[in-house]
Amino acid sequence: MRFAIIGTGGVGGPVGMALAEAGHDVTFVARGAHLAAMQANGLRMTGTREVHIDPVQATDDTTTVGPVDAVLFTVKSFGLDAAAEALPPLLKPETPVIALQNGVDAEERLGRIIDPAHVMGGVAEISAAIAEPGVIRRVSEYTRIRFGELDGRTSARGEAVREAFDGTWVEAIFTTEIEKALWNKYVLLAATSGMTAATRGTFGQIRSDPDIRAMLEAAVAEVVAVGRAKGVALAPDAVKATMEWIGKLPEGGRASMAVDLERGNPLELPWLSGTVVRLGKQLGVPTPVHSVICTILKLQQDGKGYI
């Protein structure tokens, strides 16, 4: 199959490399120093698995790629609108654009820019990041993506993408319950992103200090309450199950938004805690913890880093 990977970072890099290793025609869309390094020396992954694709098909101009069979759309939430404008040259009538952003509104946002019939929901579960231009560092063997049609149907295009990952080191699941999968991740991510960024702490620290843990659990409960008010069928024990997952996260790890904060990068705050607050207001659900998180991080939201 022909794939285009929009955003060659901690998600798009490893997932696209797995497809390229399996013999698929993969073009990575990137920019700046990262793109220049890829064009000069290929794309390398280090850490729990060593992979080097050289030469690599990489560009910043989608008009040079032509229509593909599937697009994996993996840019950060704050870059979605600009990146989506480059999608039309890649699209055939049935080309799926699988949104692999953090949060729960990327699909809706994409559907305002391209024909929503192209859009599929997606969830990425991977621990990796750009270590330096042209190099992705992967820190966990666990790599899974789940994706599905937004109306819950099965489709030939979804099955084709799933089959493309057969035999690779990425577990790919084509699900008919993508909304539930998106929200289950969102509950975990909104809480851990907000709390590790606001406290500048690690997963181990925010779950072991009694006062911070109580705030963390309240943050989880707020997202669950908002999801249920929106009609999402979250499990009765969703709060408990999420806290158990947080208990399994690496002791010294932090959510990607905390890493972005430290590096002075823009934050996905509006699409994580910000969306919890926005939906809470719409649905009449109190969200005091996420409101505090948004206030604490507001001055760093656009990439100003620590003050």
- Confidence (pLDDT) at 161: 98
- Residue 217 pLDDT greater than 60, yes or no: yes
Single pTM value for the model = 0.91
Region 54-70: mean pLDDT is 97
For the four alpha carbons of 156, 185, 224 and 287, in that order, the dihedral sign comes to negative
22-27 contacts: CB < 8 A, separation 24 or more?
22/164, 22/165, 22/167, 22/168, 24/164, 25/1, 25/57, 26/2, 26/57, 27/2, 27/3, 27/57, 27/58, 27/59, 27/65, 27/68
The mean pLDDT value for 276-289 works out to 98
Q: How confident is the model at residue 62 (pLDDT cuts 50, 70, 90)?
A: very high
Backbone angles phi, psi at 291, to 5 degrees: -65, -40
In Å, how far from its chain's centre is CA 217?
A: 22
Does the pLDDT at position 242 exceed 80? yes
Q: What percent of the chain has pLDDT over 90?
A: 92
- Token pair in block for residue 293: 């998180």
Residues 6+ apart with CB under 8 A from 87: 6, 62, 71, 73, 97, 113, 114, 118
* pLDDT the model gives residue 196: 97
Q: What does the pLDDT look like over 146-170, one tens digit per residue?
A: 999 999 999 999 999 999 999 999 9
What's the alpha-carbon Rg for the chain, to the nearest Å?
A: 19
pLDDT value of residue 307: 47
pLDDT above 70 coverage of the chain, percent: 99
Say what the pLDDT of residue 7 is.
Answer: 95
> What confidence tens digit (pLDDT) does each residue in 15-41 have?
999 999 999 999 999 999 999 999 999
Residue 127 — very low, low, confident or very high, per pLDDT cuts 50/70/90?
A: confident
Q: Is the pLDDT of residue 280 over 90?
A: yes
- Provide the pLDDT for residue 250: 86
CB 212 within 8 A of CB 205: yes
**Tell me: the pLDDT tens digits for 262-277?**
989 999 999 999 999 9
Mean pLDDT confidence for 103-123? 96
Average pLDDT over residues 63-75: 97
- Residue 188's nearest CA partner among 137, 234, 135, 119 is 234
Q: Label residues 196-219 b or e (16+ Cβ within 10 Å = b).
A: bbbbebbbebbbeeeebbebbbbb
Q: What is the 3-state secondary structure (H, E, C) of 7-52?
A: CCCCCHHHHHHHHHHCCCEEEEECCHHHHHHHHHHCEEEEECCCEE
What average pLDDT does range 228-237 have in this prediction? 95
Query: Does the pLDDT at position 306 exceed 70?
Result: no
Split at pLDDT 50, 70, 90, the class of 120 is very high
Instruction: Give Cα separations from 22 to 15, 50, 96, 163, 203 (angstroms).
Output: 11, 15, 20, 11, 34
What per-residue confidence (pLDDT) applies to 139? 83
In the chain, the domains with their CATH numbers are 2-176 (3.40.50.720), 180-300 (1.10.1040.10)
